[in-house]
Structure 1
């Protein structure tokens, strides 16, 4: 005579693979559903009539923008050069600031817990506040112009690179650092002889990603008065000079593509060299 065992799930009539959702899951579903319903009723959703009107207006914009106007090409290129300089300088400053911050924010290299908590807090604040908000803050602090844009990019890059640099340092083989400490290497010697060589490929690739992001951010920061080509674009759009705006947009596109290609080439070279070693 055979016995049949019945699971608790079968007794309750619930398939074994189905689990009752937790209270947190239900709360998240209700909150998301409420936000979607509120957005739909308040006009945040894309309606078919507004979408059709938008397509028509976009067609008008394109008809006015073609062909692009190159009468002011010289000042546009000058502003574009300022934008490139903002991205480069802001990224370099941010990467330099993020290196000691990452050392303090990594558990295996920080000298004290309080410094670890403080550096992690600085990274979190600089990362969570959007670069556009940083731009507004520095415009108030130092005034209109590229200086505010450079500072905004530097703070944003510091938070971005600081986080990933710290994670890269924490992923180092503990035996590598312990071996140097066992040989009597000081803290600075451990950093130079163990941390930097092991993390250089990761540091370079992260910095290149930050540079790509800075190239795009430097354009947007100009819209709030932080210097660069963004001011020219905002002026052209406000004055309905769509043909001039088209020239600026094409120039921005070219610069961003160049940044991405150069960044990708450097990453491939660095990663290829690291794999060969």
Structure 2
């Protein structure tokens, strides 16, 4: 069994050189850090393996059978049928407008909640906790559940989808906004206060100019996510291209399903490219 130099020197007796003592302390801390990292990594691996076993990812027979069924389904989806393409432009536009309206609604709700839910802009700790609780509640309810509720409340169409996506997005967007506000540099804030600026002026001139690029980046990213989610909420009657997709699935027209999926893929790619360009513009 090998013995480290530090262990040998300890066996020889106490060390009088402060540099050697410092070296031993650093070496001990490093070994302790590696041990904690190894233990943490092992624990994470155990949790991952247990989770994979519980959901069936480690069930080889079931996975192979599922892959065979997927191959059969893909064979039924080929060749995609684009004969109804002209009938999909309207629902696709509904999905696009739904995502834009939902993102705008999310920003309108998020900005005041973020200002109240950030420690450096909230007027009182109680207000801070209430705002944070509201943000938690908004993002804890899945948009699909919200869409079902709003479909029952206002009927079918893009309106319940926009409401569901906007309110759900407000919880996540508001959290990101609040985090950005809390991490703002305090130097401009103190400078604004030194000039006698009030709380609103401090926020307007000391905080918002710093965080606006981050807020814009988060908004654009959420718009991209909302367009994808608009397909999902359309499945429950919230309009958009998702409604056409579920209709084709229910009638077992898998070749038409493949065509709709390809149209969605092309549109998502376009939205991602546009979102990337917008994020660069706001940097």
Q: Same fold (TM over 0.5)?
A: yes
Map of 2:259 onto structure 1: 247
Q: What is the 5 A alignment of 1:1-277? A: 3-4=12-13, 17=32, 39=54, 44-45=56-57, 47-271=59-283
Tell me, which stretches of 5 or more residues in structure 2 are unaligned?
Answer: 1-10, 15-30
| Shift in Å, 1:197 | 1.1
Counterparts of 2:138 and 2:191 in 1: how far apart (Å)? 35
Answer with 1 or 2: which has the greater Rg.
2
SS in 1 for 2:149: helix
Runs in 1 of length 4+ with deviation above 6 angstroms? 24-34
Deviation, structure 1 residue 60: 2.7
Q: 1:176 to 1:136 in 2, by over 3 A?
A: same
The count of corresponding residues between Structure 1 and Structure 2 is 257
Stretch of structure 1 that moved more, 177-186 or 240-249: 177-186
**C-alpha displacement at 1:157, in angstroms?**
1.7
The 3 A distance-change label for structure 1 pair 31 and 239 is same
Give the whole-Å Cα distance in 1 for the aligned partners of 2:165 and 2:36.
46
Could you tell me how far apart the structure 1 residues matched to 2:272 and 2:57 are?
A: 33
Q: Report the more deviating stretch, 81-90 or 218-227.
A: 218-227
Matches of 1:109 and 1:28, distance apart in 2? 37
Assess, with a 3 A threshold, how the Cα gap between structure 1 residues 33 and 248 changes in structure 2: closer, same or farther.
closer
* Post-superposition offset of 1:195: 1.9
TM (norm. structure 1) is: 0.82
Deviation at 1:126, TM superposition (A): 1.3
Deviation at 1:264, TM superposition (A): 0.7
The unaligned stretches of length 5 or more in structure 1 are 6-15, 272-277
